[in-house]
């Protein structure tokens, strides 16, 4: 039974955000959680950080700006990691009696981050990346949206008798030294709002910082894009895994291969100094399938500690007994609203869940939940704690949202061409509602002399999908035409503009789809940077969709007459 008592002992922040929250409370309640800008949740408001409110410049063509502070702070993280190494085999004992905690605190000056990078899995190598490794986006991009401290997160406890507390540092979570070292290596500074409020429940951390003191609970989490959801459940999985036990103990299921690959990279980044092994369960091309069958014949079932994959592939592994689920302790659904929706992947998700041990801990994360989907989510994660933000709070305040009314459907292409002629953009994503429409638009853009990439899933080979996204992520290509396959979860640091060539529609009703809109727009304005969303409408129906989205998030978009006015508005941002 959930408690709905209100929490009134709070202090008003100058910005209108409640900041007072006790370390522990034995009274059941729904708590409105809002940390001050330095992550503190226990006292009076801190002085305002005026630098956090300075508008970020929209980068022009070329390298993205804004990574200098994180890069400058990198030595502090390296020093903290070195201190943990110096503890040697006595690291666990030092952490237990508090001697190691002071050394770990040296990393507090680093910037927070979440963007995944490829990492060398060897646990004992120095923190310097090899020359051929990709740059660390977390260090370059600042990580968590600086506006995260202004967000209001509500915590609804399933058990009214359980004391609630949040944390303000990663050290308070009782993470193993090797895992905390990975947190420092990723240039994380302090927990984001959803991390601070949910990780104690995910890990069963007591108010004294003892991990496992409370039973881990199921969780349904909702927070805005760029809030640190991925690192939250990744730390949960890595903490629950015993890397000396050669069995699969954590399972993460997501809607697309692109998102699965990204999450696997985050696991490798945060688990860099552990012996945790990750298996990517996504559709393979034929040569890979033949190789996998030969490997399975030699080595037997999959025994990697963490499996990350799409529902069809994971279900196939379970059905063919290539994956044994009897040892799975934690089950994660990312983009959970799509994963549990009966119109989407709900049936496959339920079949996977039924194959897992009854006592498995279940975590569901997404930026949006329709009310009917939230009910389904609670059936998959029974007696779950809930952490969520109100619908109107989801609008991305760091994304400037514009729209242009085009004379006709075909006139949208002329307007799009003018936008690319007048504006100097870093990287941009163009969303189209159908595979056929995406292919036709990419062809027209190429015929007009633009260099564009196309990603739509479906009959594209896995190898081709990986190649297109990798090229776009590395900056080799600058314009990506795609469908909703890329609307969820996938982060590309260089994206400054999202263009909705088609306004998002629900698949069956063909009505406005505000959830998909917020996911699409969330591909820009990441890592604390300003972003731009441009919506092209051309008739009464598409304008009605736009206004429905405005109404859903209580946010007015700015109408511009043409590409020249749009250019002027952007210059004045």
Q: What does the alpha-carbon distance between residue 571 and residue 573 come to, in Å, rounded to a whole number?
A: 6
Q: Is the pLDDT of residue 368 over 90?
A: no
Cα–Cα separations (whole angstroms), residue 96 to 61, 142, 176, 212: 50, 31, 10, 14
Give the model's pLDDT for residue 95.
38
Give the model's pLDDT for residue 216.
82
Q: Which tops the pLDDT comparison, 241 or 377? A: 241
Q: Are 144 and 112 in contact (CB under 8 A)?
A: yes
Residue with tokens 């569901």: 364
Length, in residues, of the chain: 573
Q: What does the alpha-carbon distance between residue 108 and residue 242 come to, in Å, rounded to a whole number?
A: 27
pLDDT, tens digit (0-9, with 9 covering 90-100), for 337-353: 888 875 667 889 999 99
Give the model's pLDDT for residue 501.
97
pLDDT, tens digit (0-9, with 9 covering 90-100), for 188-236: 888 888 888 889 989 988 766 677 667 888 999 887 767 788 999 999 9
Q: What is the Cβ-side half-sphere exposure of residue 446, based on CA atoms within 13 angstroms?
A: 12
Secondary structure, 3-state, 322-342:
CECCCCCCEEEEECHHHHHCC
Cα–Cα separations (whole angstroms), residue 236 to 127, 198, 206, 229, 272: 23, 10, 15, 11, 15
Q: SS3 for 308?
A: strand
- Residues linked to residue 154 through DSSP beta bridges, in sequence order: 32, 388
pLDDT, tens digit (0-9, with 9 covering 90-100), for 525-563: 765 678 899 999 999 999 999 999 999 888 899 999 999
Supply 141's token pair: 């991009």
Residue 539: φ, ψ to 5°: -155, 180
Give the model's pLDDT for residue 494.
85
Q: What does the alpha-carbon distance between residue 345 and residue 340 come to, in Å, rounded to a whole number?
A: 6
Q: Which of 11-25, 498-512, 546-560 has the lowest mean pLDDT?
A: 11-25
Give the model's pLDDT for residue 564.
94
DSSP state of 247: S
Q: Element (H or E) spanning 415, and its range?
A: helix 411-422
- For the ranges 105-109, 146-150, 293-297, 393-397, the maximum mean pLDDT occurs at 393-397
User: Whole-prediction pTM value?
Assistant: 0.63
Q: Are 257 and 230 in contact (CB under 8 A)?
A: no
Q: Is the pLDDT of residue 97 over 60?
A: no
Give the model's pLDDT for residue 23.
38
Q: Are 101 and 454 in contact (CB under 8 A)?
A: no
- For the ranges 191-205, 286-300, 302-316, 484-498, the maximum mean pLDDT occurs at 302-316
DSSP state of 499: E
Give the model's pLDDT for residue 373.
79
Q: Which tops the pLDDT comparison, 478 or 133? A: 478
Q: Are strands 30-33 and 153-156 parallel, antiparallel or unpaired?
A: antiparallel
Sign of the torsion angle spanned by Cα atoms 134, 107, 85, 262: negative
Residue with tokens 């002329």: 414
Per-residue pLDDT band at 483 (split at 50, 70, 90): very high
CB-based contacts of 448: which residues, under 8 Å, 6+ apart? 417
Q: How many CB atoms lie within 10 A of CB 291?
A: 11
Query: Residue 284 class from Cβ within 10 Å (0-12 exposed, 13-18 middle, 19+ buried)?
Result: middle
Give the model's pLDDT for residue 86.
42
Q: Are 457 and 94 in contact (CB under 8 A)?
A: no
Q: Element (H or E) spanning 467, and its range?
A: helix 462-474
pLDDT, tens digit (0-9, with 9 covering 90-100), for 44-72: 333 334 333 333 334 333 333 333 333 33
Q: What does the alpha-carbon distance between residue 92 and residue 569 come to, in Å, rounded to a whole number?
A: 55
Q: What does the alpha-carbon distance between residue 264 and residue 144 come to, in Å, rounded to a whole number?
A: 19
Q: Is the pLDDT of residue 99 over 70?
A: no
Q: What does the alpha-carbon distance between residue 74 and residue 49 come to, in Å, rounded to a whole number?
A: 22
């Amino acid at each position: 039974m959930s408690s709905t008592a209100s929490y009134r002992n709070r202090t008003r922040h100058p910005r209108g955000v409640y900041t007072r929250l006790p370390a522990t409370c034995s009274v059941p309640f729904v708590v409105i959680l809002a940390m001050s800008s330095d992550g503190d949740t226990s006292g009076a408001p801190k002085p305002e950080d005026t630098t956090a409110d300075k508008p970020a410049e929209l980068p022009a063509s070329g390298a993205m700006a804004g990574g200098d502070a994180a890069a400058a702070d990198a030595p502090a993280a390296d020093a903290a990691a070195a201190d943990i190494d110096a503890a040697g085999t006595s690291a666990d004992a030092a952490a237990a009696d508090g001697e190691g905690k002071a050394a770990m605190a040296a990393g507090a000056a680093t910037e927070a981050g979440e963007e995944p990078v490829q990492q060398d899995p060897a646990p004992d190598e120095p923190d310097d990346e090899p020359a051929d490794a990709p740059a660390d986006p977390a260090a370059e991009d600042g990580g968590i949206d600086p506006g995260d401290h202004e967000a209001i997160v509500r915590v609804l406890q399933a058990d009214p008798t359980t004391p609630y507390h949040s944390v303000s540092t990663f050290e308070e979570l009782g993470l193993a030294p090797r895992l905390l070292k990975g947190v420092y290596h990723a240039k994380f500074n302090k927990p984001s709002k959803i991390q601070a409020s949910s990780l104690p429940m995910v890990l069963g951390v007591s108010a004294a910082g003892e991990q496992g003191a409370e039973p881990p609970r199921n969780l349904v989490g909702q927070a805005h894009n760029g809030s640190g959801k991925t690192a939250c459940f990744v730390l949960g999985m890595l903490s629950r895994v015993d890397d000396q036990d050669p069995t699969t103990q954590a399972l993460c299921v997501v809607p697309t291969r692109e998102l699965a690959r990204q999450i696997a990279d985050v696991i490798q980044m945060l688990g860099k100094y552990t012996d945790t092994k990750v298996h990517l369960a996504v559709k393979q091309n034929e040569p890979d399938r033949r190789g996998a069958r030969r490997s399975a014949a030699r080595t037997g079932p999959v025994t990697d500690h963490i499996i990350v994959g799409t529902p069809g592939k994971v279900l196939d592994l379970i059905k063919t007994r290539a994956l044994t689920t009897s040892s799975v302790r934690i089950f994660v659904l990312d983009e959970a609203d799509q994963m549990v929706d009966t119109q989407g992947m709900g049936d496959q998700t339920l079949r996977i869940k039924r194959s897992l041990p009854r006592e498995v801990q279940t975590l569901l994360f997404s930026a949006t939940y329709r009310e009917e989907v939230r009910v389904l989510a609670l059936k998959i994660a029974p007696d779950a704690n809930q952490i969520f933000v109100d619908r109107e709070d989801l609008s991305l305040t760091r994304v400037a949202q514009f729209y242009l009314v085009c004379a006709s459907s075909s006139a949208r292409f002329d307007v799009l061409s003018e936008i690319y002629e007048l504006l100097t953009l870093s990287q941009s994503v163009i969303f189209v509602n159908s595979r056929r429409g995406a292919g036709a638009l990419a062809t027209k853009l190429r015929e007009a002399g633009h260099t564009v990439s196309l990603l739509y899933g479906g009959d594209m080979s896995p190898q081709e999908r990986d190649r297109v996204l990798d090229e776009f992520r590395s900056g080799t290509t600058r314009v990506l035409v795609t469908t909703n396959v890329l609307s969820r979860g996938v982060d590309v640091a260089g994206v400054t503009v999202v263009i909705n060539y088609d306004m998002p529609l629900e698949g069956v009703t063909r009505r406005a789809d505000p959830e998909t809109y917020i996911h699409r727009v969330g591909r820009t304005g990441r890592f604390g940077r300003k972003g731009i969303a441009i919506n092209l409408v051309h008739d009464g129906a598409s304008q009605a969709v736009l206004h429905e989205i405005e109404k859903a998030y209580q946010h007015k978009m700015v109408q511009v007459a043409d590409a020249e006015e749009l250019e002027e508005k952007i210059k004045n941002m």
